[in-house]
Amino acid sequence: MTGVLTIEHSAGEATHGRPRPPTPEPGTAGSGLRPPTTRPPRPLVRVLLCEDQEVFRLGLRVVLETQPDMAVVAETSHVAEALDVVDGPGAQVIVVAQGLVGPSGVPLLRSLCQRGTGVLVLAETRARGDAGLIEVLQAGVRGVLPRRSAAQSLVDAVRSLARQETALDAAVTSQLVRHLTGDAEPVGAGGRAVDQLTERQRDVALLVAEGLSNEEIAGRLFLSPATVKSHLTAVLRRLDIRTRTQLAILVNRDQEPAA
């Protein structure tokens, strides 16, 4: 009777009795598989919002915080407060409404820019504020968009400023060029005084003309009395007048129908 040789194959042995080389662990040399990689987290662009209208400010926050690389670290309704707050959370970009700047706010913007903070001014496109925009650009501001820009334009501008790049809207740039070259429509004696104001300044001026106090205007516009006072000061300076009474006379005269 012929014997039958039976070879039992154990782990690590080939079918012909030779040792089988050990199987490389995944991710080691010779395994043919790449080790799992972990992408480093993208650094967040830290944004400070300077806007006195709560609904508008909330909209800005929602737009920016839907981006995976952005975070709103603080909010304020005054440029002076922005200067105090910016060092705390370390904001890289400040988004500020043009109506909050005024002549007294230009030096504050200059100080922010000198610190290396990117400043994005949301311009009042309906107001004839070309000279005001020129002042903020001379202060070092490198970002200007119309106040009612598309959400993606806002996001792109914030990213550009965080990279120390310029973010100037084409329409705003053309408007400034026309102003510098003398092609802009002049505001003469025939123009209305309120047309020289930003949208928020115009709201305040019209309510002053109705005889409302600062506290009443604050309640009507959902602003703080301090913010109303700041707007009113800017209005008086821009129109080159000194008192509320003069402002009321000027605005009411504008409202009278032409003879």
Which range among 123-127, 204-208, 218-222, 229-233 shows the weakest confidence by mean pLDDT? 123-127
Task: For Cα atoms 123, 75, 73, give the angle at the middle one, nearest 5 degrees.
Answer: 115
Mean pLDDT of 129-137: 72
What is the rounded average pLDDT for all residues in the chain?
A: 77
Q: What is the 3-state secondary structure (H, E, C) of the chain?
A: CCCCCCCCCCCCECCCCCECCCCCCCCCCCCCCCCCCCCCCCCCEEEEEECCCHHHHHHHHHHHHCCCCEEEEEEECCHHHHHHHCCCCCCCEEEEEHHHCHHHHHHHHHHHHHCCCEEEEEECCCCCCHHHHHHHHHCCCCEEEECCCCHHHHHHHHHHHHCCCCEECHHHHHHHHHHHCCCCCCCCCCCCHHHHCCHHHHHHHHHHHCCCCHHHHHHHHCCCHHHHHHHHHHHHHHHCCCCHHHHHHHHHHHHCCCC
Q: Give the phi and the psi of residue 123 in degrees, each rounded to 5.
A: -80, 145
Backbone torsion region of residue 95, taken as left when φ is above 0, otherwise alpha when ψ lies between -120 and 50, otherwise beta: beta
Token readout for 218 is 């604050």
Non-local CB neighbours of 146 within 8 Å, separated by 6+ positions: 122, 123, 125, 169, 171, 172
215 vs 172, higher pLDDT? 215
At 231, the amino acid letter reads: H
- The answer to whether the beta carbons of residues 98 and 141 sit under 8 Å apart is no
Residue 47: predicted pLDDT: 94
pLDDT reading at 61 higher than 80: yes
Which range among 53-57, 63-67, 178-182 shows the weakest confidence by mean pLDDT? 178-182
* Dist. CA 239–CA 193, nearest whole Å: 7
62 vs 21, higher pLDDT? 62
193 vs 212, higher pLDDT? 212
> Buried (b) or exposed (e) across 218-232, using 16+ Cβ within 10 A?
beebebeeebbebbb
Look at residues 240, 191, 204 and name the one whose alpha carbon lies nearest to residue 100.
Answer: 204
Residue 183: predicted pLDDT: 55
101 vs 45, higher pLDDT? 45
Mean pLDDT of 155-183: 79
Looking only at Cα atoms, what is the longest distance across the chain? 134
Mean pLDDT of 157-184: 77
Question: Taking the model in full, what pTM does it have?
Answer: 0.59
23 vs 227, higher pLDDT? 227
